[in-house]
Structure 1
Amino acid sequence: MSESNAEFHERLARIYRQQAEAGPKAREAVVVDRNGYIIVRGAGRRRSIPWHGLGMVVMSFFVIKGLMMSQLGPDFYSQDVARLSGGSAIEKAAAWTMRPDPVSRWIAMQIKTHS
């Protein structure tokens, strides 16, 4: 019985040594629970850039600009953007992002023709 207990503690020492050599990320993957069982969890997924979400934000931005252009009309919309470009730094940044572009114009034309 004492030999198996010694083997168990040697195994634990080896596991903890390997964890220390692997670094903090690997240390999270192996856990000893309260009953003494060693639970090996898979390495966590690496976070990547949420391309789908970013694409939806960009698409929504162009659709909202197109809706504003179709509702206000191109002349009034351009006057509002010109008014913003003469203001503070934040208003200038807003004018730069809200200036008419081909995608927004196309969306505005599609909304005008289908409504």
Structure 2
Amino acid sequence: MADANYVRFNKRLRDIDSKHRKLSRGYVQLVERDGLLVPVSTRRTARRGFPFRGLLLTLAGFLVFKAVLLTHLGPITYGERVEKLAGGTTLEQAGAWVMRADPITMWITRQIGLQLDALS
């Protein structure tokens, strides 16, 4: 029985220390409905994980960039430039592979073209 109480007591101490560390970085006092002041940490803890949202936004931006480039240059000129890249060094060949007109880019290009037709 005494060991269980000791374990619970130590857990409560760890929780208090943890809360104290969080609040020592900055806090505000919130007033609850019953008038009780409750300290709440103002800083968020940094998320640790892979930034999937940033990766998806970067990919979407790159696809839109390719589509705008394809719309601006036209499919023939764009294709010629990608073929010219494909005949270069290994790095240029990788760039040609990335810049090739894939189905998603073609779809975005058609959408941009429809928008431009509507504006004319």
**What secondary structure, in the 3-state scheme, does the structure 2 residue paired with 1:40 have?**
helix
Higher relative contact order (CA 8 A, sep 6+): 1
**What secondary structure, in the 3-state scheme, does the structure 2 residue paired with 1:53 have?**
helix
What percentage of aligned pairs have identical amino acids? 36
Corresponding residue pairs, total: 81
Between the aligned partners of 1:57 and 1:108, the Cα distance in structure 2 is: 18
Between the aligned partners of 1:71 and 1:46, the Cα distance in structure 2 is: 40
Q: Does 1:40 align with 2:21?
A: yes
Q: Which residue of 2 aligns with 1:96?
A: 97
* Structure 2 unaligned blocks of 5 or more: 1-16, 24-44
* RMSD between aligned residues: 2.4
Q: Which residue of 1 aligns with 2:8?
A: none
Offset at residue 83 of structure 1 (A)? 0.4
Q: Which residue of 1 aligns with 2:80?
A: 79
Letter of the structure 1 residue corresponding to residue 49 of structure 2: S
Larger Rg: 1
Between the aligned partners of 1:92 and 1:45, the Cα distance in structure 2 is: 39
Q: TM-score, normalised to structure 2's length?
A: 0.59
Q: Which residue of 2 aligns with 1:21?
A: none
Runs (4 or more) in structure 1 with deviation over 6 Å come to none
Letter of the structure 2 residue corresponding to residue 40 of structure 1: R
Between the aligned partners of 2:86 and 2:64, the Cα distance in structure 1 is: 22
**What secondary structure, in the 3-state scheme, does the structure 2 residue paired with 1:55 have?**
helix
Q: Which residue of 1 aligns with 2:69?
A: 68
Q: How does 1:7-22 map to 2 (within 5 A)?
A: none
* Structure 1 unaligned blocks of 5 or more: 1-29, 31-38
Offset at residue 63 of structure 1 (A)? 0.2
